[in-house]
Amino acid sequence: MKTSIMAFAALLGHTSAQNFLIINSCSTPVYFQPILSNGDTSGPLNTVQPGQSWSEVYRPHGSTVKIGTNETLGEHLSIEYKFSSTDPDYIWYEFNTAFGNPFASHHNSLSAGDGCSNFLCKANDTDNCYSTVYAGKIWACPLPANLTAHLCDPPLPSSYRPIMASITSTDLSTILPKVHDLSDIELALLLSLITHDHPILTTPASHIDTLTRELSLIALRTFHLTHAIVNCTPSTTLDDFASALLIPSSSSQKKPSRPDYFAPRPLRPSRRSTSPPSSGQIANCILATNLDLAPRAVQIQALELLRTGRIFTRTTVQTAPKRFIFIPILQADAPGKGPQLTSHLNDSFALAHWHDPEDGYVNVEDEDERVERNSVDSVDINHLAQLSQQVEIDIDVKRYQMNVVSFLRMHRAVQDGITPAATKHFEKLMRCLAPIHTLDYVTPALVGVAAKKTYLHRIRITTPENERSMQWGSSLDAVTALLNDVGPEQVINDVLSMVTAPI
Ligand SMILES: *[C@@H]1O[C@H](CO)[C@@H](O)[C@H](O)[C@H]1NC(C)=O
Ligand SMILES: *[C@@H]1O[C@H](CO)[C@@H](O)[C@H](O)[C@H]1NC(C)=O
Ligand SMILES: *[C@@H]1O[C@H](CO)[C@@H](O)[C@H](O)[C@H]1NC(C)=O
Ligand SMILES: *[C@@H]1O[C@H](CO)[C@@H](O)[C@H](O)[C@H]1NC(C)=O
């Protein structure tokens, strides 16, 4: 196929037990045939009977498969999936109608799982959904993932709505007033706690300390979480980092005191043990100031901690608690400006929030007055998480979201940062914004809000030399002037104003 725009190579490992699957829900058999790697020879012709499915383990180099309604396969849909050597953690896939679409009058899908961009194509939607000769579309999804082609997929009846409206009016009535009282910083934390992801907070350098103080109060008072502060510098070692994650034993974070007879018996120090005396517990909320300054090795450990919930030191393995939120606090003079974390690390943060010092620090300011502020407990958070999973995303809104992603990727000022992981975070965020707005479906406006939060820390602006129009002879000065003031925030706003929202 000529539509592929990336150079692909062999897949490295990873693929065991991940399958390419074809499901036939049509009333007639479906015929399919792989095109073998050199591009012209065809593999064996296969059939999937109505109501049946067929699957195989991914081919190591990916595969292109023709699918049609009879054995001639003259007119056929094509499916292509590939693995890239530069991004071995992703599968790329395409649902292409360049050679026709004998299933066009049915709802068909090619999906790598929830949270990824997928082809979910309504009956007779031949222009916008599939990849076509005129508008190639390739989506990607982080592995592990199974890729499923579902032909004549019975779409959900349009009357389908998860029964949520009634829950909304009762249970949420106690939670929402609390949520609407939250500051933007608190909201960023709440969203991260709901999705079990982690946010990046940025603010001008001179305000990092105050913001850290505010966050520690929020952890304690609003969410009842223990916290630890890790101040990173270029000389932070792995051991410094790992030990700073533990709940400080100081009195600032007293547990509710228990009657004496429950008090743990003092442990007799063992003679044989030479390890440090305390091997405490990792705090619920880690505030990592200036994480970007930490040596690469430390940033990699932080990534490991986010991925696996564990951190290894020379002497111990520490496990993160179930409720765990890791917040880098970085300096940035404006949203989307500022330093960069190592790239895989920053991609694992779901959202970014720039705190404008002018917006103040609600908790720090109230600190002395001991104002009792609303708190959001784990029951509330679990409830919101559950509702967010029941949120419905209409196919038009889903398509709008995918268009926003494509336009971001194509934006002339964007070098990179529009990653598959971002697409997943984007969708999760859309979903959990809905219940907070008393909705059981996602609106285009929520897509816009989620886009701004998801991509702020990811988009990297291209250099003038690499800007696309340079290839057809733009002047460097003109392009430099054009890109001068463009930042991630403006790119996102541009795209949101360009992509037509569904009504
Ligand atoms: C096979 O299907 C195509 C359309 O999908 C149709 O045009 C063609 O006539 C069919 N051939 C046979 C032999 O049925
Ligand atoms: C799709 O188009 C076909 C033929 O034009 C028509 O028979 C069918 O009813 C359409 N289906 C839908 C869901 O609009
Ligand atoms: C893929 O499918 C296989 C077999 O059905 C299943 O065992 C595996 O968990 C699936 N993997 C993912 C990531 O869904
Ligand atoms: C985040 O990662 C992306 C892609 O890996 C990169 O383009 C971007 O510059 C990084 N941004 C920051 C703020 O580190």
Q: Give the position, in ligand 2's atom list, of the atom nearest the Cα of 107.
A: 13
Residue of 54, 146, 147, 424 best suited for mutating to test ligand 3, as the one with most atoms within 8 Å of CB: 146
Distance from C-alpha of 492 to C-alpha of 386, rounded to nearest angstrom: 29
Closest CA to 62 of 101, 35, 30: 35
466 alpha-carbon distance from chain centroid: 27
Mutational test site, ligand 2, from 26, 105, 121, max ligand atoms within 8 Å of CB: 105
Give the Cβ contact number of residue 71 at 10 Å.
11
CA 202–ligand 4 middle distance (angstroms): 14
Residue among 364, 371, 430, 438 at smallest CA distance from 402: 430
- Residue 271 banded pLDDT, cuts 50, 70, 90: very low
Mapped onto helix, strand or coil, the DSSP state of residue 171 is: coil
pLDDT tens-digit series, residues 422-445 = 999 999 999 999 988 888 889 999
Ligand nearest to the CA of 73: 1
Q: Which percentage of the chain shows pLDDT scores above 70?
A: 84
pLDDT of residue 38: 56
Residue 214 banded pLDDT, cuts 50, 70, 90: very high
Torsion sign over Cα 116, 191, 247, 295 = positive
Residue 234 has pLDDT above 80, yes or no: yes
Q: How far is the CA of 469 from the centre of ligand 3 (A)?
A: 43
351-354 and 199-203 beta bridge pairing: parallel
Q: Is 18 in the pocket of ligand 3 (CB under 6 A)?
A: yes
- Mean pLDDT in residue range 159-166: 39
Residue 97 CB neighbour total at 10 angstroms = 21
pLDDT in tens, 185-194: 999 999 999 9
Reported as a single tens digit per residue, the pLDDT across 129-159 is 898 877 778 887 888 889 999 999 876 544 3
Tens digits of residue pLDDT in 13-46: 444 578 999 999 998 999 999 886 555 567 788 9
Q: CA 471, 476, 478, 483 torsion: positive or negative?
A: positive
Q: How many angstroms does the Cα of residue 145 sit away from the middle of ligand 3?
A: 7
- State the ligand closest to the CA atom of 458: 4
SS3 for 410-467, per residue?
HCCCEEECCCHHHHHHHHHHHHHHHHHCCCCECCHHHHHHHHHHHHCCCCEECCHHHC
Q: In whole angstroms, give the CA distance from residue 244 to residue 290.
A: 14
From 49-53, 238-242, 419-423, 478-482, the region with the lowest mean pLDDT:
478-482
Phi, psi of 325 (to 5 degrees): -140, 130
**Cβ neighbours for 318, distance < 8 A, ≥ 6 positions apart:** 242, 245, 246, 279, 281, 282, 310, 311
Query: Would you say the CB of residue 202 lies under 6 angstroms from ligand 4?
Result: no
Higher-scoring residue by pLDDT: 262, 238:
238
Looking only at the bridges linking them, the beta strands covering 19-24 and 147-151 are: parallel
Please report the pLDDT score of residue 6 as a whole number.
31
The pLDDT of residue 497 is above 60 = yes
Confidence of residue 198 (pLDDT cuts 50, 70, 90): very high
Binding site membership of 4 for ligand 3 (Cβ less than 6 Å): no
Give yes or no for residue 365 having a pLDDT over 80: yes
